[in-house]
Amino acid sequence: MRRMTALFSAALLSAGMMSMPAMAQQDSATQQGGATQQGQAANQNFTDQQLQQFADASQEIAQVSQEYTQRLQEAQGDQAKQQEIRMEANDKMVSIVEESGLDVETFNAIGQAIQQDPELMKRVQQMAQSGS
């Protein structure tokens, strides 16, 4: 369950990084333990290939996130339906990440690192613009 929340939150963060509206801030606000992971993530060095994979996957995830954020809003007030939508969105996002060649943990670590490092974020944004 924690993996799902972490990926969903990271996906929303990456969607925001790609200039997409991150509408489900309540999901990232409810995530526990993210601060300790962020401190560790900023110290990691990622290869250009990993950053490009992250950029490519983030673009796909941004589209999925936008679609599922709309569905979550439509299901507002129905907790069971919202949970079902989150799980479906997570499964789709995990598939996108794995198809990109990254594992979920690396994807999340890069997502957290770019939130703390403006230069890294700029680099990933440039890769996203030129990579597709």
Q: Determine the Cα–Cα distance for residues 122 and 112; give it in Å rounded to an integer.
A: 14
Domain that holds residue 125: 1-11+53-132
Quick check: is 35 in a domain?
no
> pLDDT tens-digit profile of 39-84?
444 457 899 999 999 999 999 999 999 999 999 999 999 999 999 9
Q: Determine the Cα–Cα distance for residues 121 and 100; give it in Å rounded to an integer.
A: 19
Quick check: is 74 in a domain?
yes
Quick check: is 5 in a domain?
yes
Q: Assign 8 a pLDDT band (cuts: 50, 70, 90).
A: low
Quick check: is 1 in a domain?
yes
Quick check: is 81 in a domain?
yes
Q: If we measure between CA atoms, which residue out of 107, 131, 4, 88 comes closest to residue 50?
A: 107
Amino acid found at 6: A
Q: Determine the Cα–Cα distance for residues 81 and 60; give it in Å rounded to an integer.
A: 23
What is the pTM (predicted TM-score) of this model?
0.68
Quick check: is 60 in a domain?
yes
> pLDDT tens-digit profile of 27-41?
333 333 444 444 444
In this prediction, residue 25 carries a pLDDT of 31
With a pLDDT cut of 70, the percent of the chain lying above it is 66
Q: Which has more confidence, 127 or 10? A: 127
Number of separate domains in the chain: 1
Quick check: is 48 in a domain?
no
Helix orientation angle between 104-116 and 118-131, rounded to the nearest 10 degrees: 120
